[in-house]
């Protein structure tokens, strides 16, 4: 029991520290994405509109989830009152659902561009992207209402009287049904959508072009594009699977009555992974693109000037060292 209490004491400071690091990285990265897109006219494309919506969703997710979840580890009780108990958990569900649906919408959009490039020129407009984004938020707000309705404060006892913020459904069957729905809507269906979209994209890009001008050039270019898209597919699906899978599976197991200390630890790890997904999204969806890197250089030239000067000085010192160690100079006075 003493070893277990020591481990819980480590969780009380280690987990909030890690959450704070995730929040800092996520807020900075997603804010930079929004800044780069809004300040550069050439970056205001339909795809980047979805990326900005994803960055906004990630920021709200980090702000609504991380600070309040972090307090659950050092503090035994919920200290923010019943209104915040309902609001915080409701916004957590809304932002998590909006994030996953936005990822699915981005995948469908990219798939549509690849399969129907000419038709997409007419239908993919900023107005359409705005309508889809608003629909995502409206759907997430409406579908998450049960969390606000059934979230409430409960009295408990753990080394003294405590107050907990818990979901209290009218029946266990209703609670299980909502958890299964959340698993499907927030994780499984988006994962299947993302995987199916990129499978269609890879299949389409593997087909030969019609009336190629230069077969060898076209083949090399198609192979390079397929390789780049394949890497992106692996990264996207793996990140979504790894980051969101553990916490969703832990919640699903708890809904069916499985309770253990090991599951508690796995749930902590699952929270860390799901939150970290909002931090790495800017890197995967934005800064891996050449256009974002160019716009970022324009927005923050001092950073890249400092890096280029550092590389130049390092290169000059290496050349000077090589020159001094040249065999012809070793025999000179």
pTM listed for this prediction: 0.76
Averaged pLDDT, 190-211: 76
pLDDT at position 135 is 92
**Does residue 332 sit within a domain?**
no
Q: What is the DSSP letter of 212?
A: -
Render pLDDT for 64-106 as a digit per residue (tens, 0 to 9): 878 888 888 788 788 888 888 889 889 888 988 888 888 888 8
Rounded Cα distance between 262 and 264, Å, is 5
pLDDT band at 46 (very low <50, low <70, confident <90, very high): confident
For residue 220 the two structure tokens come to 């090399």
Averaged pLDDT, 279-284: 78
**Does residue 326 sit within a domain?**
no
pLDDT band at 45 (very low <50, low <70, confident <90, very high): confident
**Does residue 321 sit within a domain?**
no
Rounded Cα distance between 96 and 209, Å, is 40
Rounded Cα distance between 73 and 214, Å, is 62
- Decide if pLDDT at 15 tops 50: yes
What CATH code is carried by the domain that includes residue 132?
1.20.1070.10
**Does residue 303 sit within a domain?**
no
The parent domain of residue 19 ranges over 2-207+218-288
**Does residue 293 sit within a domain?**
no
pLDDT at position 328 is 46
**Does residue 134 sit within a domain?**
yes
Collapsing DSSP states into helix, strand and coil, what is residue 156? strand
Percentage of residues of the chain with pLDDT beyond 70: 74
- Decide if pLDDT at 295 tops 70: yes
Task: Select, from the ranges 138-142, 213-217, 221-225, the one with the highest average predicted confidence (pLDDT).
Answer: 138-142
Tally of domains within the chain:
1
**Does residue 212 sit within a domain?**
no
């Amino acid at each position: 029991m003493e070893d277990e209490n020591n481990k819980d004491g480590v969780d009380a400071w280690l987990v909030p520290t890690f959450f704070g690091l995730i929040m800092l990285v996520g807020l900075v990265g997603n804010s930079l994405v929004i800044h780069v897109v809004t300040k550069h006219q050439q970056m205001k494309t339909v795809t980047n509109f979805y990326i900005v919506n994803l960055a906004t969703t990630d920021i709200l997710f980090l702000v609504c989830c991380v600070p309040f979840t972090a307090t659950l580890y050092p503090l035994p009780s919920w200290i923010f009152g019943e209104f915040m108990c309902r609001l915080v958990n409701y916004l957590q569900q809304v932002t998590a659902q909006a994030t996953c649906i936005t990822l699915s919408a981005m995948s469908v959009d990219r798939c549509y561009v690849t399969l129907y490039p000419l038709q997409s020129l007419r239908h993919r407009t900023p107005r359409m992207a705005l309508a889809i984004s608003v629909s995502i938020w409206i759907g997430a707000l409406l579908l998450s209402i049960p969390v606000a309705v059934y979230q409430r404060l409960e009295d408990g006892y753990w080394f003294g009287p405590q107050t907990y913020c818990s979901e209290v459904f009218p029946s266990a069957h209703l609670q299980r049904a909502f958890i299964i729905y959340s698993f499907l809507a927030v994780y499984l269906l988006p994962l299947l959508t993302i995987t199916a979209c990129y499978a269609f994209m890879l299949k389409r890009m593997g087909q030969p072009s019609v009336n190629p001008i230069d077969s060898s050039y076209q083949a090399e270019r198609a192979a390079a594009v397929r390789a780049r898209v394949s890497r992106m597919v692996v990264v996207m699906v793996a990140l979504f699977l790894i980051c969101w899978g553990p916490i969703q599976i832990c919640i699903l197991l708890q809904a069916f009555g499985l309770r253990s200390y090991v599951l508690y630890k796995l749930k902590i790890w699952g929270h860390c992974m799901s939150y970290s997904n909002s931090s790495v999204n800017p890197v995967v969806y934005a800064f891996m693109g050449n256009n974002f890197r160019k716009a970022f250089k324009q927005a923050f030239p001092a950073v890249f000037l400092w890096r280029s000067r550092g590389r130049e000085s390092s290169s000059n010192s290496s050349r000077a060292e090589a020159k001094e160690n040249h065999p012809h100079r070793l025999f000179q006075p």
